[in-house]
Structure 1
């Protein structure tokens, strides 16, 4: 989608592309540099992923908190935000909208908050499978799939109900 403010006689350069960013990977890590969650939408060997993670964590943790949340890195752009003790970092295409990516990160945090009730690092550590599930309900293949918080939370709650039903069924004695 393209947004052009004002009269339509403006040159195309005055317009913004509001297309959702193409996310290459998402990293969640602590202030101590411990990786808590990683989701890759680009295929890379494990050795390369580890090298990238080490490099990005070092870059972001060494930055002053008052600097921009955007870093040009190789042929990508890193967009990150710190929430409490966790950093949420996305790698996007160089031409993608950084502010829209910050909104994507914020929406993920809102979904986590809604599910866990004021999410913290321990929630991610001990319930990492739910954190991945919530991310997968929201982003598929590096693109935002569900923008509605209500719909995403409903899908997560439905999954929990199904899991509880299956567990109850499996715990019943068979005759």
Structure 2
């Protein structure tokens, strides 16, 4: 099981977090501080797996972001690396060569993609095409809602003149 997902920039800024195990806000802050210090200070030639607090942290660096997932000690690290890569490929397909700014300004979409990929710390959907179709459907719903809100506000504006 995946306990949490954290995306950290090379400067140590947290760009995305998703918690699948219960942690208090104080614990979350401490975990992020420890994890960022642990991952950012590791050399590039070292393994992408770290034993931490009786758990394993699997991470992978893509451009300026570290994608970190904390798993149970008996879980398969290579499978988690594949899940991280799968998530990055889906983000790349959606944003067209995803970068850190895409995640900063469209964090809600990055969360939506992650929610389509993982549920309760387990892989839900492995098909990129299915996830892309679901995201496109969600985007069309959002656009339809925006158009409806604009038309309603136009009607109200005309009625109050």
* TM superposition score category, shorter chain reference: over 0.9
Which residue of structure 2 aligns with residue 76 of structure 1? Answer: 55
User: Residue 95 of structure 1: SS of its match in structure 2?
Assistant: coil
Which residue of structure 1 aligns with residue 113 of structure 2? Answer: 134
Q: CA deviation at 1:54?
A: 0.2
User: Please, which of 86, 89, 95 is the counterpart of residue 107 of structure 1?
Assistant: 86
Q: CA deviation at 1:106?
A: 0.3
User: Please, which of 92, 96, 109 is the counterpart of residue 71 of structure 2?
Assistant: 92
Q: Matched residues in 2 for 1:139 and 1:153: separation? A: 14
2:147 is aligned with 1:151: no
2:64 is aligned with 1:65: no
Q: CA deviation at 1:75?
A: 1.3
Which residue of structure 2 aligns with residue 161 of structure 1? Answer: 140
User: Residue 88 of structure 1: SS of its match in structure 2?
Assistant: strand
TM norm structure 1? 0.86
TM norm structure 2? 0.94
User: Residue 43 of structure 2: SS of its match in structure 1?
Assistant: coil
User: Residue 44 of structure 2: SS of its match in structure 1?
Assistant: coil
Q: CA deviation at 1:113?
A: 0.4
Which residue of structure 1 aligns with residue 96 of structure 2? Answer: 117
Q: CA deviation at 1:74?
A: 1.1
Q: Matched residues in 2 for 1:62 and 1:171: separation? A: 49
Q: CA deviation at 1:169?
A: 1.3
User: Structure 1: where are the runs of 5+ without partners?
Assistant: 1-21
Which residue of structure 2 aligns with residue 31 of structure 1? Answer: 10
Runs of 4+ residues deviating >2 angstroms: none
Which residue of structure 2 aligns with residue 51 of structure 1? Answer: 30
Q: Matched residues in 1 for 2:120 and 2:53: separation? A: 21
Deviation string 1:110-151 (CA, Å, 9 cap, x unpaired) is: 110011000000000111011001100110110110100000
User: Residue 100 of structure 1: SS of its match in structure 2?
Assistant: helix
